[in-house]
Structure 1
Amino acid sequence: MVSAGDFKNGITIELDNNIYQIIDFQHVKPGKGAAFVRTKLKNIKNGGVVEKTFRPTEKCPKAHIDRKDMQYLYNDGELYYFMDVETFDQIALGEEIIGDSLKFVKENEVVKTVAHAGNVFAIEPPLNVELLVTECEPGEKGNTAQGATKPCIVETGAQVLVPLFVNEGDTLKIDTRTGEYLSRV
């Protein structure tokens, strides 16, 4: 149990049968009345953000979140299969859990599964990945305004905006959080 007076950014708590991560908190001491803690909570499972106030003495159970390295094996159309890199146990997850998190991940790459009480609810891809450009239009001569970009398709099928000098067959480094081009490899 963690009391509201001890809240810190990043702590995960259980509240109303959901798991929330504290994004922001503020201890408020008004001129009249009792002090309280104003928080912004992010629902870890669906990503929604709510604001809630607590009395400093209120207690919430701390949620234990497990992150485990798993190798992404393959997708059979409905399910995505992962293997524990230590025990070689395999699990299958549905598309509703995966969402867009594997947009830049190739088969056989290691990702992190995020679970609470043994139930996986999210996948965290590596921060940066290196992918081959499979489709890309050539950059037009004279179209060299600062920051000019063009769309390219990488080997996972995702579309990325890249600078004009990138060509088909190049290997790119991509930030998986934003989907932005970082550099050529």
Structure 2
Amino acid sequence: MNGGFFLDGRGCNWYAPRHMAKVPVINLRKGHAVNHNNDVCVVVSMEHKCPPRMASYVQMSIRSIATKKIYNLRLTSNEYLEGVNLAREEYEFSYIDGMGYHFLEPDTYDDVTVTEDIVEPVKDYLIEGGTYILMFTDETVVSIELPAAITMTVAEAAEGVKGDSANNVYKPATMETGLVVQVPLFIKPGERISVKTEDGSYLGRVNN
């Protein structure tokens, strides 16, 4: 498949999927697109495993854009897959209704509706008004790319144990989206924190 610019119904430039050079599987991340048996797929999960006294390998799941079929792959760390370029556009998350999750183009306010199956892997990080990268093929959103870190508001957090001043002691806290993050004892409801989207870990408190 050759890539190239084309116009959608709104007169906007998009970039058709274009096959790229082979990419080491250890360099792939969730949301990247690959060609698997002539089927363009999006990486939905991956884990690099290094068992003792055994060769390391990558366990990954990819979803076909055309059929939605999930392929579970186990590849050695030195294997490659063919990468695929997709259109990447910034959109702001707006709201949810019965049709799906609505994102707005910040300049034109064009509304793009994304279905639950596409949003599912990232929905705990969707903040109203937050900016996200939507990845398209043929005007269809196939994946959502999160920023490396996102600022979230603590909705619920238990009180720290009185007198417990030990370092590196954490407690669970529920964010505004329902995501549960392990945070230091001093974090209270209403505070804003930075969360690493790769693994949902606490990065630090954010001053208002």
**TM norm structure 2:** 0.63
Give 3-state SS (helix, strand or coil) of 1:85's partner: coil
2:51 aligns with none
Give deviations 1:41-60, integer Å, cap 9, x for gaps.
863655743549xxxxxxx9
CA offset at residue 122 of structure 1?
1.1
Tell me, which stretches of 5 or more residues in structure 2 are unaligned? 3-20, 47-57, 65-69
Question: In structure 2, what is the Cα distance between the partners aligned to 1:114 and 1:48?
Answer: 22
Alignment partners' CA distance in 2, 1:155 and 1:41: 30
Q: How many residues align?
A: 160
State percent identity of aligned pairs: 25
Which residue is equivalent to 1:179?
A: 200
Q: Given the alignment of the two structures, is residue 49 of structure 1 paired with residue 83 of structure 2, yes or no? A: no
Q: Aligned to 1:153, which of 167, 171, 174?
A: 174
CA shift for structure 1 position 184: 0.6
Match of 1:14 in 2: 35
SS at match of 1:103: helix
What stretches of structure 1 of length at least 5 have no aligned partner? 24-38, 53-59
Query: Aligned AA for 1:43?
Result: I
Counterpart check, 1:83 vs 2:104: yes
CA RMSD of aligned residues (A): 3.3
CA distance, structure 1, for counterparts of residue 90 and residue 178 of structure 2: 24
CA distance in 2, matches of 1:40, 1:184: 34
Partner of 2:129: 108
Aligned to 1:57: none
Q: CA deviation at 1:18?
A: 2.1
Question: Would the aligned equivalents of 1:105 and 1:129 in 2 still touch at CA under 8 Å?
Answer: no
Residue type at the aligned position of 2:22: F
State TM-score, norm by structure 1. Answer: 0.70
The residue aligned with 2:11 is none
Amino acid at match of 2:157: C
Contact 2:160 2:185 (8 Å CA) reproduced: yes
Bigger CA radius of gyration = 1
